[in-house]
């Protein structure tokens, strides 16, 4: 499996960085796009600079209904004539954040499912787009995670309700007997996602590629996430909303179990 980071908060020379995420995956002859970054132009430009032909993607996944993952979705639908896009049923509901300065709308474009009804597939809990591919949502939040969790809302601007992130959809990819996990922001907590995966496939994934949503979290929260990752022993490639401070701390704690990714990075898994 080869994973190319198309959009991230950080970028190698010649690429544009922006708060958001988009990963391009080639596995067993299939081409997958996981998230679309915050803007269409950015996705198209970075993909072109990296030699990735988005028109050849076979299917795509939206990790959750936040603009920094969905902003390039319409540009993708126009650049690619055929690939279905899987998103949890409620990903296109309104979503907000309030960090003490009032409610800020961070929704995906809520009109997209109406305008692209045949392209956007909206499963509720789980879908298998092909052999060895599982998109799943509804991860139970068994272990509390992060102070930021309570700053997110859904509902409406007039009547916001606390967010439960059931619109997060993660992707499992199998190559041979080996599974890999892709997660966008892991708002539900990466430990909860990893434990849920074990229930689904009966073992741990060989690696996880994910944002860990630790920007602005306390060192204590970061240490708790580090402990949970260490206990589970799954190698982590992280990017996007993990943030450089949390990464530095996790890197101390986890050593070679964790590595940092940015736009332009290419990861190769398997066959070694
Ligand atoms: Fe998010
Ligand atoms: Fe994000």
| Ligand closest to CA 108 | 1
C-alpha 107 to ligand 2 mean position (Å): 11
Distance CA 122, CA 269 (A): 29
C-alpha 271 to ligand 1 mean position (Å): 33
Distance CA 140, CA 37 (A): 26
C-alpha 68 to ligand 2 mean position (Å): 5
C-alpha 9 to ligand 1 mean position (Å): 13
Whether the pLDDT of residue 253 is over 70: the answer is: yes
For residue 9, what is the DSSP state? S
C-alpha 141 to ligand 2 mean position (Å): 18
C-alpha 39 to ligand 2 mean position (Å): 13
Whether the pLDDT of residue 152 is over 90: the answer is: yes
C-alpha 187 to ligand 2 mean position (Å): 9
Distance CA 142, CA 146 (A): 13
* Strands laid side by side in the 2-7 sheet: 120-121, 85-86, 59-61, 30-34, 22-27, 2-7, 266-268
**Averaged over 183-212, what is the pLDDT?**
97
Distance CA 190, CA 246 (A): 14
C-alpha 176 to ligand 1 mean position (Å): 31
| Residue 216, number of CB atoms within 10 A of its CB | 15
| Residue 49, number of CB atoms within 10 A of its CB | 16
**Residue 272 has what pLDDT?**
53
Neighbours of ion ligand 1 (CB under 5 A): 66, 185
Distance CA 53, CA 81 (A): 12
**Residue 146 has what pLDDT?**
86
**Residue 209 has what pLDDT?**
98
**Averaged over 59-69, what is the pLDDT?**
98
What is the residue-averaged pLDDT of the chain? 97
Distance CA 236, CA 254 (A): 10
Distance CA 90, CA 92 (A): 5
C-alpha 224 to ligand 2 mean position (Å): 20
C-alpha 176 to ligand 2 mean position (Å): 30
C-alpha 241 to ligand 2 mean position (Å): 6
Higher pLDDT: 270 or 136? It is 136
Cβ neighbors of 98 (< 8 A, separation 6 or more) are 104, 151, 153, 160
Whether the pLDDT of residue 15 is over 80: the answer is: yes
Whether the pLDDT of residue 246 is over 80: the answer is: yes
| Ligand closest to CA 37 | 2
**Residue 3 has what pLDDT?**
98
In the chain, % of residues over pLDDT 90: 97
| Ligand closest to CA 168 | 1
Distance CA 135, CA 85 (A): 11
Give the domains, in start order, of the chain with CATH numbers.
2-268 (3.60.15.10)
C-alpha 70 to ligand 2 mean position (Å): 9
Burial of 235 (0-12, 13-18, 19+ CB in 10 A): middle
| Residue 68, number of CB atoms within 10 A of its CB | 26
- pLDDT band of 46, cuts 50, 70, 90: very high
Concatenate the DSSP letters of all residues of 121-162 into one string: E--SSEEEEETTEEEE------S---GGGGGEEEE-SSSEEE
| Ligand closest to CA 96 | 1
**Residue 271 has what pLDDT?**
65
């Amino acid at each position: 499996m080869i994973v190319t980071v198309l959009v991230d908060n950080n970028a190698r020379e010649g690429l544009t960085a922006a708060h958001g995420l988009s990963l391009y995956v080639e596995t067993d002859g299939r081409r997958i796009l996981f998230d679309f970054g915050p803007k269409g132009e950015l996705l198209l430009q970075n993909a072109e600079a990296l030699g990735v032909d988005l028109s050849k993607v076979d299917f795509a996944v939206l990790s959750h209904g936040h603009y920094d993952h969905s902003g390039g979705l319409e540009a993708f639908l126009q650049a690619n004539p055929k690939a279905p896009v899987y998103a949890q049923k409620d990903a296109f509901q309104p979503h907000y954040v309030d960090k003490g300065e009032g409610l800020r709308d961070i929704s995906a474009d809520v009109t997209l499912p109406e305008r692209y009804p045949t392209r956007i597939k909206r499963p509720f809990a789980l879908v298998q787009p092909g052999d060895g591919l599982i998109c799943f949502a509804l991860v139970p939040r068994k272990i509390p995670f992060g102070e930021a969790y309570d700053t997110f809302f859904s509902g409406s601007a007039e009547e916001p309700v606390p967010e439960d992130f059931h619109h997060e959809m993660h992707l499992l990819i199998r190559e041979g007997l080996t599974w890999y996990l892709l997660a966008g922001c892991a708002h539900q907590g990466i430990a909860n996602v990893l434990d849920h995966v074990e229930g689904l496939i009966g073992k741990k994934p060989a690696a996880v590629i994910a944002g860990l949503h630790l920007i602005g979290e306390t060192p204590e929260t970061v240490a708790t996430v580090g402990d949970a990752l260490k206990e589970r022993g799954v190698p982590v490639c992280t990017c996007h909303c993990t943030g450089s401070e949390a990464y530095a701390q996790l890197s101390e704690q986890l050593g070679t179990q964790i590595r940092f990714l940015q736009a332009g990075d290419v990861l190769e898994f398997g066959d070694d």
